[in-house]
Chains A and B, each alone.
Chain A
Amino acid sequence: MAGHEGSLEGRKCQEFEQKYMEELFASVDRAATVIEQLDKLLTKVRTDCE
């Protein structure tokens, strides 16, 4: 929230972002990579064991 960095609003916003949003963004990025790997792996397994 631009312009509010030093205010109570800005601090609360930053606190919320650090506590919840950063972990969410990092987890979503990791999960996206993992889901892609899983997709490739499951496709290979189905082909190999068909």
Chain B
Amino acid sequence: MPDRAHVTSVDALESFRAGLIVYLSKARPALEEVSAEVQRTRSWLEHDQRSHWSRRCAAGAGSCRRRRRRFSARSSPPSARRARWKRCRPPRQAGPRRSDAKLRTLSSGTGVRQPVSPLVKQMEKLHTVLTNDMVQAVAYLTEAIRTLDAYAGAAPPSAGGAAPAAAAGPQPEGQP
């Protein structure tokens, strides 16, 4: 067994470490963009769409009341009024009913919060791996490279005949 190890993989380690850093610099923002998209959708639902459908509901209810007043105020016999009301009611009430349903979905939170939250939690696990574990991995590689570089650059022990460590380059001329 030789007295000294031949350190030949420092370049490969350095290259792997550099690749890992590039990967992390791209993976983290990509993951954060997904979280931001979820946040934007939540905000759109809870603010923009809720107020939009609330306004539509209110407008729909107002229009129904106006129609009822208009029909009941007419002088035609009640049976004729009922017939006319039935004829025009279904399509005109579809709007308010749809608005009510949308608003109920938005208010209940079942639309997006419940199914999305567990998925977001799972995604956060990867974020933790990237921000904690992989930072430790890069630190581990940095330390390993430093140690190997120091070992390769150190003078060989006094034992005669031992070959000096061939770090990353050719051995100096004149060495056995």
Docked complex Cα distance between A20 and B111 (Å): 37
Expressed in whole angstroms, the Cα–Cα distance for A24 and B49 within the complex equals 38
Number of interface residues of B (CB under 8 A): 34
Which residue of B111, B136, B141 is within 8 Å of A45 (Cβ)?
A: B111
- Cβ contact within 8 Å between A34 and B9: no
Q: Determine if B144 and A12 form an interchain contact, defined as CB atoms under 8 angstroms apart.
A: yes
Count of A residues near B, CB < 8 Å?
24
Whether the pair A38, B134 counts as a contact (CB closer than 8 A) is: no
A contact residues around B130 at 8 Å (CB): 24
CB of A27 within 8 A of CB of B49, answer no
B18 to chain A, nearest CB (A): 16
B-facing residues in A1-50 (Cβ within 8 Å): 8-9, 12, 16, 19-21, 23-24, 27-28, 30-31, 34-35, 37-38, 41-42, 45-46, 48-50
Instruction: List the interface of chain B (C-beta within 8 A of A).
Output: 5, 9, 27, 31, 34, 37-38, 41, 44-45, 49, 53, 102, 105-106, 111-112, 115-116, 119-120, 122-123, 125-126, 129-130, 133-134, 136-137, 140-141, 144
